[in-house]
Amino acid sequence: MKNQIYAIPEDIMRGSGTQLFDHIAECLANFMEKLQIKDKKLPLGFTFSFPCIQTKLDESFLVSWTKGFKSSGVEGKDVVTLIRKAIQRRGDFDIDIVAVVNDTVGTMMTCGYDDQNCEIGLIVGTGSNACYMEEMRHIDTVEGDEGRMCINMEWGAFGDDGALDDIRTEFDQEIDMGSLNPGKQLFEKMISGMYMGELVRLILVKMAKEELLFGGKLSPELLATGHFETKDVSDIEGEKDGIQKAREILMRLGLDPTQEDCVATHRVCQIVSTRSASLCAATLAAVLRRIKENKDAERLRSTIGVDGSVYKKHPHFAKRLHKTVRRLVPDCDIRFLRSEDGSGKGAAMVTAVAYRLADQHRARQKTLESLKLSREQLLEVKRRMKEEMERGLSKETHAVAPVKMLPTYVCATPDGTEKGDFLALDLGGTNFRVLLVRVRNGKRRGVEMHNKIYSIPQEVMHGTGDELFDHIVQCIADFLEYMGMKGVSLPLGFTFSFPCQQNSLDESILLKWTKGFKASGCEGEDVVTLLKEAIHRREEFDLDVVAVVNDTVGTMMTCGYEDPHCEVGLIVGTGSNACYMEEMRNVELVEGDEGRMCVNMEWGAFGDNGCLDDFRTEFDAAVDELSLNPGKQRFEKMISGMYLGEIVRNILIDFTKRGLLFRGRISERLKTRGIFETKFLSQIESDCLALLQVRAILHHLGLDSTCDDSIIVKEVCTVVARRAAQLCGAGMAAVVDKIRENRGLDTLKVTVGVDGTLYKLHPHFAKVMHETVKDLAPKCDVSFLESEDGSGKGAALITAVACRIREAGQR
């Protein structure tokens, strides 16, 4: 370790803050010049040993000057900013100020390097202070409940509220009144080196005035403040020739002491220094007792790192301190470890740790940067979505277009005259529902629903098509019996939430399975035919399958029943998709140019042709590669609930492998695919959730995390979910803008019916998505209406509308 000591002249100590920090910058420049490192931008640790309010590791506001400093314009200011400005004023070197620390903290850090039990720092020199490791749960001013943080006590101010008035003497009061900061740092004035010699002097003056010393004679030197130094106290209490030393010092002060005067002076020095050590020991004992209680330990083993001229140079101070502490806390095994240049070396160590952490933070931010999208990037996603929509609608390019823009043959929304009883089936995931929907019109207009949920075992999902549809029909039979309607024939709407090519309202060809389904013999087949065949195989009942619909269309229809402006449907749940009312003239796959038809976009496949590759990250690629359908549904894998947790898990693994998280230890649980469910994202991002609860979630997942780990995990969840909401918003902006342009309108008022767990349950997804749509489609006034059971109720409403139109046609 190389160092250089520079003096600070008294006129600078009491001048302006600018002068002081310019002087510090000049000393720093000279030192760097001497070491020939002025051209390098090095990290700097700044030990600033005055009472400060620290808001960050590199931000510390001076509360008040002590130790004789009086530089103006500094109190209440951030000292790091002041030194940065001084360096900038010079302009001949640059420094990265990473940490500002108190000398007491530096002392603890230095000793902690040699002894891991060191959790207290103590300075007894010109001034006095202590620090210790406190439990985070007790620090109300800092967020977080886990782990520990070093607390800079600033114990010199103990007693400023009058708590020590009963033990302060007239001499303490006189010292305080004559100090630069009366009424402040009262404890420090009782124990530290700056005042110890002065206390002895005042006692000697009083004893002389009372003719107890020096034959009642006083000298001008003895009456002058500061002429009896703390060094004199140490010399007089020295092991050898203390009495002789007292004689020499008293004679230097213009006195002619007797042997008794010298002995008495020696005794006064002893009393003053012993009181100082005892007071210091009592407060240290209180700190040790607190740490012991925090740890709930029967016996505490701890180390105190100590620095300061009084502790190191006074011949008996350290021994008296140790003895008194051990007497006051007999249930603690205490080691005192002298710091070698704690304030300098400790600051460097804090800086080294902070620099490593800052380096890790930069590395994490660089990774997360690829998931943060600018407005320009989102506008580009919107432009490409519109382009892909056009390709899907066009007869010429439809076959190769990933966004299929499938006609649904739903050409009308509810008008309020629908009525009757309808059955609805809802198949879109591992759970399957059967519903009875009663639609009423007139004064009692409304929808009454009864439903029952059935699970689909994995072996059925992965078996044959016959097994799957036989299971569905079995569930329908059970429901009809449950409702007391066995043998009744009702119109049925079938919500089938998989990519299909619809040839008519009651004919829908399954293009490909998604969401983990793999039943054989279904792809390329009409699902209505497969359902009817299974009903005939059972020979128990017959049903009129009027309409097969997508859950997104069902969502739009449900909301359309409440709001006539609803012409768009959106699902953001396990998967994601959208639909909207397109002009018939643009739906080239269906004949006719009049009116409108709902188009099922199947937007989950947006990007399957590579058009989103410049927005996809290595984590998206990893999730896609290990999915059931690699290379397919790429947009869905970036925005939907089934995959967001997996994206987060892959980022956490990457961070851990690089030593940026979980102390570089990858648990077996973290390696498990699917462990990080999207519901945990919603929980972790909840505004009311403290970091302790985030840590509890991670612990539940088998991840042993610190408070810092919890903060990082929360940030990753936020970034991944925000990107999903923004991408979804960019896609929706493309849809509403297309409707507006189709109709040649300057402005469009439209409602989007929305369903899906991610949209409904995530604390921020909906808000971010709404903001993105508003920003990217400013000419559209878009409202969002949450759907209540779009996939079930919606299917019944489409069936009701179809029956209404069919009956009108028959009439």
- Reported as a single tens digit per residue, the pLDDT across 50-89 is 888 878 878 889 988 887 888 999 999 999 999 999 999 9
Cα gap 146→692, rounded to integer Å: 6
Contact 2, 35 (CB under 8 A): yes
- For residue 344, pLDDT beyond 80: no
Q: For 220-229, which contacts have Cβ atoms below 8 Å and span 24 or more sequence positions?
A: 220/254, 221/252, 221/253, 221/254, 222/253, 222/254, 222/255, 225/178, 225/198, 225/201, 226/197, 226/198, 227/201, 227/253, 228/197, 228/198, 228/200, 228/201, 228/204, 228/253, 229/197
Residue owning tokens 């209406």 = 785
CATH of the domain at 675: 3.40.367.20
Other beta carbons within 10 angstroms of residue 532's beta carbon come to: 17
- Out of 283, 305, 339, a domain closes at 339
Q: Please give the C-alpha separations between residue 570 and each of 107, 441, 513, 576, 750, in angstroms, as whole numbers.
A: 60, 27, 20, 8, 13
Q: Does the residue 330 lie in any domain?
A: yes
Both 545 and 666 in one domain: the answer is: no
Both 187 and 208 in one domain: the answer is: yes
> How does pLDDT run across 437-466, given as a tens digit for each residue?
888 876 667 788 898 999 999 999 999 999
Q: What is the pLDDT of residue 567?
A: 94
Q: Does the residue 568 lie in any domain?
A: no
* Residues known to be catalytic: 433, 497, 551
Contact 408, 549 (CB under 8 A): yes
Q: What is the pLDDT of residue 6?
A: 87
Spatial CA neighbour of 514 closest among 603, 425, 438: 603
Both 421 and 489 in one domain: the answer is: yes
The number of residues making up the chain comes to: 811
Other beta carbons within 10 angstroms of residue 374's beta carbon come to: 9
Please, is 433 exposed, middle or buried when counting C-beta atoms within 10 Å of its C-beta (0-12, 13-18, 19+)? buried
Both 539 and 661 in one domain: the answer is: no
Q: Does the residue 56 lie in any domain?
A: yes
- Which of 327-331, 451-455, 788-792 comes out lowest in average pLDDT? 788-792
Cα gap 797→481, rounded to integer Å: 23
Both 61 and 122 in one domain: the answer is: no
Residue bearing the bigger pLDDT, 579 or 418: 579
Strands 148-152 and 128-135: antiparallel
Both 35 and 182 in one domain: the answer is: no
- Provide the token pair at 684: 């972790």
Cα gap 369→615, rounded to integer Å: 11
Q: What is the pLDDT of residue 618?
A: 96
> How does pLDDT run across 582-639, given as a tens digit for each residue?
999 999 999 888 899 999 999 999 999 999 999 999 999 999 999 888 999 999 999 9
Cα gap 682→679, rounded to integer Å: 5
Angle at 734 between CA 728 and CA 735, to 5 degrees: 90
Give the chain's end-to-end CA distance (angstroms, integer).
100
Q: Does the residue 477 lie in any domain?
A: yes
Q: What is the pLDDT of residue 753?
A: 95
Q: Does the residue 392 lie in any domain?
A: no
Both 97 and 154 in one domain: the answer is: no
Confidence of residue 485 (pLDDT cuts 50, 70, 90): confident
- Provide the token pair at 189: 């004035």
Q: Which strands make up the sheet holding 118-124, listed edge to edge?
A: 148-152, 128-135, 118-124, 300-307, 332-338
Q: Does the residue 578 lie in any domain?
A: no
Contact 257, 251 (CB under 8 A): yes
Q: Please give the C-alpha separations between residue 718 and each of 18, 574, 680, 681, in angstroms, as whole numbers.
A: 42, 18, 12, 8
> How does pLDDT run across 407-444, given as a tens digit for each residue?
998 888 777 777 888 899 988 777 888 999 888 876 66
Q: Reduced to 3 DSSP states, what percent helix, strand and coil does the chain have, rounded to the nearest 5?
A: 50, 20, 35
Both 38 and 110 in one domain: the answer is: no
Q: Which domain holds residue 247?
A: 105-339
Both 619 and 524 in one domain: the answer is: no
Both 331 and 373 in one domain: the answer is: no
Residue owning tokens 């902070």 = 354
Confidence of residue 688 (pLDDT cuts 50, 70, 90): low
Q: Does the residue 576 lie in any domain?
A: no
Looking at the 3D structure of the chain, how many domains does it have? 4
Q: What is the pLDDT of residue 809?
A: 63
Q: What is the pLDDT of residue 413?
A: 75
- Provide the token pair at 674: 């699917």
pLDDT above 90 covers a percentage of the chain that reads: 59
The values of phi and psi at residue 453, to 5°, are -100, 135
Q: Does the residue 517 lie in any domain?
A: yes
The values of phi and psi at residue 546, to 5°, are -90, -40
- Please, what is the average pLDDT of the chain? 90
Both 665 and 733 in one domain: the answer is: yes
- For residue 341, pLDDT beyond 80: no
Q: What is the pLDDT of residue 144?
A: 66
Confidence of residue 387 (pLDDT cuts 50, 70, 90): very high
pLDDT above 70 covers a percentage of the chain that reads: 97
Residue bearing the bigger pLDDT, 707 or 738: 738
Spatial CA neighbour of 411 closest among 598, 571, 237, 637: 598
What is the arithmetic mean of pLDDT over 325-336? 96
pTM of the model: 0.70
What is the arithmetic mean of pLDDT over 628-657? 93
CATH of the domain at 69: 3.30.420.40
CB crowding 162-175: b at 16 or more within 10 Å, else e: eeeeeebeebbeeb
Both 152 and 252 in one domain: the answer is: yes
- Which of 244-253, 265-274, 481-490 comes out lowest in average pLDDT? 481-490
CA-CA-CA-CA dihedral for 730, 732, 734, 738, to nearest 10: -170
Cα gap 121→157, rounded to integer Å: 17
Q: What is the pLDDT of residue 369?
A: 96
Confidence of residue 670 (pLDDT cuts 50, 70, 90): confident
